[in-house]
Amino acid sequence: MISFEDLKSILKKSIEWEKKLKDFYDVAEFALKSPESRKIIAALRDNLVERLGVLSAINLKKYGETEWVQFAPDYRDEDIVPIGQIRRDSTPGEIVSQILECETKFRHFYSSIYMNLTNRSQKDLFDSLVKFKEHQISEINNLLNSDLLST
């Protein structure tokens, strides 16, 4: 488990991970040979860029003094971003499954932070981030269950 000194350091780490995931999408889009896989990666990358805008726009002053946050999941960058787990011949389903795993880890990270905060406004912020991730996970699950991946 890791600790964060303040809210700014938590969001900074989260944005770093989201940017690494965006870089991963960029590389995967060009590396994959399946047109369907490239199309899915491009759509997910575009969604990620929107998320980065939301995270970057959070006004931290609105949430007051941040308490010391202990017991956050001890994720390393390679635990979050699925580098090396997708190959040139990966199917769209394999790609989306890896991304689902990544987003699930993000949700777990935000949920763990939420559970360890006592400041109400900060808890509300992380509750909204958990719900944000749950919505993304739902969209990815819908994609996994769609006919698009079987083409």
Domains contained in the chain, CATH given: 2-150 (1.20.1260.10)
| Amino acid letter, 12 | K
Find where tokens 């993304």 sit. 136
pLDDT at 66: 59
CA distance 18 to 11: 10
Rg of the chain, C-alpha, whole Å: 16
User: Which residue(s) pair with 2 in the sheet?
Assistant: 72
Find where tokens 């899915």 sit. 40
pLDDT at 151 over 70: no
SS3 74: coil
Of 64, 69, 67, 72, nearest to 121 by C-alpha is: 64
CA distance 131 to 135: 6
pLDDT at 3: 55
Helices 120-144 and 92-116 cross at an angle (nearest 10°) of 160
pLDDT above 90 covers what percent of the chain? 4
pLDDT tens digit sequence for 69-87: 555 556 666 677 766 677 7
CA dihedral 90, 95, 97, 98 (to 10 degrees): 100
